[in-house]
Amino acid sequence: MDEYKRLDRRLVHHGAILDVYTDTMQIPNGKTAEWDFIGHKGAAAVVPVLDDGRILMVKQYRNALERYTLEIPAGGRDNTEEPFIDCAFRELEEETGYRCEKEEMKFLISVYTTVAFCNERIDVYVADHLIKSHQHLDDDEFLNVTACEVKDLLDMIYAGKMQDAKTVAAILAYHNKYCG
């Protein structure tokens, strides 16, 4: 296979969550093309499992979809040096008001959300033996925490009612690894 080569990367927009670039690429036929690229610091997500087997989910408004979604707790890393697992511990407690001991947080999967134009990577962990703590939401975060049966979450996925990629991948992987 012929090689692709990036000739230039130009920052178009620097944002709080992501940066948007225009890449000038040399493509295998020798011509050049301009491609959009979104740079992201990465994120972590958690499948928080209560002692009775239910999963803690967060319901929140998503501006891009103009509606509420039901998702596993997740959030972006503070910087590219922050370990994904540290981000997962922080987001679990911030969003759900629960925490767990370090040995109770286990890696499940990594997901690249949109490989055609974005490098966002989300590492997903499973947390059990949860300990009640305090929610620490960001100033612009308003969400409700609800506990759901795995079967109900699977039904939502297959009915097309749950479409968030990280959540779908995480619930399916969790079910396959721990319930199947």
Do residues 46 and 72 both lie within one domain?
A: yes
Q: Is 38's pLDDT higher than 70?
A: yes
Total domain count, the chain: 2
Do residues 110 and 28 both lie within one domain?
A: no
Query: What is the distance between the alpha carbons of residues 120 and 105, in angstroms, rounded to a whole number?
Result: 22
Query: What is the distance between the alpha carbons of residues 76 and 49, in angstroms, rounded to a whole number?
Result: 21
pTM of the model: 0.94
Query: What is the distance between the alpha carbons of residues 121 and 113, in angstroms, rounded to a whole number?
Result: 7
- Position 136 scores a pLDDT of 86
Q: Are 79 and 41 in contact (CB under 8 A)?
A: yes
Measured in whole angstroms, the distance separating CA 101 from the mean position of its chain's CA atoms is: 21
Compute the average pLDDT of residues 130-153.
Answer: 93
Give phi and psi for 75, each to the nearest 5. -175, 165
pLDDT tier, 173 (very low <50, low <70, confident <90, very high otherwise)? very high
Query: What tokens were used for 163?
Result: 């479409």
Do residues 110 and 21 both lie within one domain?
A: no
Q: What is the CATH number of the domain that holds 108?
A: 3.90.79.10
Query: What is the distance between the alpha carbons of residues 81 and 131, in angstroms, rounded to a whole number?
Result: 27
Do residues 32 and 90 both lie within one domain?
A: no
Do residues 12 and 92 both lie within one domain?
A: no
Compute the average pLDDT of residues 105-124.
Answer: 97
Do residues 69 and 133 both lie within one domain?
A: yes
Q: Domain range for residue 27?
A: 5-39
